[in-house]
Amino acid sequence: MRSLFPKPWDVFVVGGGPAGLATAIAARRHGLSVMVADGAVPPIDKPCGEGLMPDGVEALRKLGITIPEGEAYPFRGIRFVSDGAKAEANFPRGSAYGIRRTNLHRLMLDHASASGVHMMWQAAVTGLHPEGALVAGELVRARWVVGADGTSSRVRGWAKLDLRFSDVSQETNLRFAFRRHYRVAPWSDFMELHWGHRCQAYVTPVGPEEVCVVLISSSQNLRLRIEDGLEEFPELCARLQDAEHASSERGAITVTRSLRRVYRGHTALVGDASGGVDAITGEGLCLTFRQAALLGDCLASGDLASYRKGHRKLIRRPALMARLMLFVAGHRHLRRRTMQVFQSRPQSFAGMLAMHVGEGSTREHVSNGLAMGWEMLRA
């Protein structure tokens, strides 16, 4: 079979989104030769809440990327809003940013190019091959193939890595999201999460005159669009009703999924392709950057068993947070009680947020959880 390049690459990455570029950068740091192929054209936009939590900012910095001023908008914590009640807390440390996906992609792309990563755009990968992968039917030879092709990964299917850990059906975990930007000055320096009965909306400040709104609903309420879902949030609706739309509404699916295996032979998965957590956590990008850094190390040492082990460990906390948040989302009475506790005992919300972004000790999290449980029983 004709090969597109004369020499095989050390690493061929399928997908040039955050996971693919981060893995390429991490592999280049070990001196591996890397080619990335993506079917789209940069800068790639993708429906996303565009919130990068402090642990995500730190994970990106470890890959050598700092966010320059003007490319993103800082926020200092998270605010929950439910049935008129509000609870908020600052991040224990570090900065968080709202960053447009196109800005993030451009920053990552510049860094990847400067690191010596080769890239092909409008280059859809059509299959795997014992010697590498196929791009539009032509062979690209590589020692390792990395599937960074997102939630609906085809590499995952080709490599027979689809088996999940939990027997919860995909339909139960699958949720629908819509995103749109509004031209309005952010009204707070928090990322806001509004809890409704049929859906949740979250608002991230992404610029001095722009916010990003995501509305997520479960499959029962099939694909609730932003205009319909916002009816549940009168306060948010009032803030947005006169604001010009700064982007068109785009939909996506979000799934909490843990795979039994994240590599087979010379093919490894990373980012959303390798499983992921519900968008409501705002932790997808951080998880992706951490997996990519680990995969870069493991590709260099040839020890993919360590990647599997480390990957499982990395997803544990965000997956737990996703399960907790979705449970609360589905139980109105419990949500009301939780909000009462957060209001009467603000340190409990601060403790939850610290756990969410990976700060504090297990002992502190357990004692905060117990104190919260006790308050809820008394409420």
Ligand X SMILES: Cc1cc2nc3c(=O)[nH]c(=O)nc-3n(C[C@H](O)[C@H](O)[C@H](O)COP(=O)(O)OP(=O)(O)OC[C@H]3O[C@@H](n4cnc5c(N)ncnc54)[C@H](O)[C@@H]3O)c2cc1C
Stretch that binds ligand X, among 18-26, 57-65, 311-319, 330-338 (CB under 6 A): 18-26
124 vs 326: CA distance, rounded Å? 34
| Closest distance of CB 241 from ligand X, Å | 22
**Torsions phi, psi of 220, nearest 5?**
-60, -35
198 in contact with ligand X (CB under 6 A): no
How many of the chain's residues bind ligand X (CB under 6 A)?
A: 41
Site for ligand X in 310-369 (CB under 6 A): none
Nearer to ligand X, 304 or 315 (CB): 315
Nearer to ligand X, 175 or 337 (CB): 175
Among 58, 88, 232, 272, contact with ligand X (rule: CB under 6 A): 272
Each as own residue / partner, the long-range contacts of residues 340-346 (CB below 8 Å, 24 or more positions apart, any chain) are: 340/85, 340/379, 341/372, 341/375, 341/376, 341/379, 342/80, 342/87, 343/85, 343/86, 343/87, 344/375, 344/379, 345/371, 345/372, 345/375, 346/87, 346/89
271 in contact with ligand X (CB under 6 A): yes
Nearer to ligand X, 273 or 325 (CB): 273
113 vs 63: CA distance, rounded Å? 14
Among 288, 338, 348, 368, contact with ligand X (rule: CB under 6 A): 288
Stretch that binds ligand X, among 45-53, 70-78, 294-302, 344-352 (CB under 6 A): 45-53
179 in contact with ligand X (CB under 6 A): yes
105 vs 112: CA distance, rounded Å? 10
Among the listed residues 247, 310, 256, the one whose alpha carbon sits nearest the alpha carbon of residue 283: 256
Peptide linkage before 43 cis (omega within 30 of 0): yes
Which tokens hold the place of 227?
Answer: 């205009």
88 vs 103: CA distance, rounded Å? 28
Task: Answer left, alpha or beta for residue 15, where phi above 0 means left and psi between -120 and 50 means alpha.
Answer: left
Stretch that binds ligand X, among 222-230, 273-281, 321-329, 344-352 (CB under 6 A): 273-281
Site for ligand X in 138-177 (CB under 6 A): 148-150, 154, 177
54 in contact with ligand X (CB under 6 A): no
Site for ligand X in 231-270 (CB under 6 A): 252, 254
Among the listed residues 183, 226, 227, 189, the one whose alpha carbon sits nearest the alpha carbon of residue 205: 189
200 in contact with ligand X (CB under 6 A): no
Site for ligand X in 114-143 (CB under 6 A): 124-125
Helix 18-28 to helix 284-301 angle (10° resolution) is 30
158 vs 177: CA distance, rounded Å? 27
37 in contact with ligand X (CB under 6 A): yes
186 in contact with ligand X (CB under 6 A): no
Residue ranges in contact with ligand X by CB under 6 A: 14-20, 37-40, 44, 46-51, 56, 124-125, 148-150, 154, 177, 179, 214, 252, 254, 271-273, 276, 279, 282-286, 288
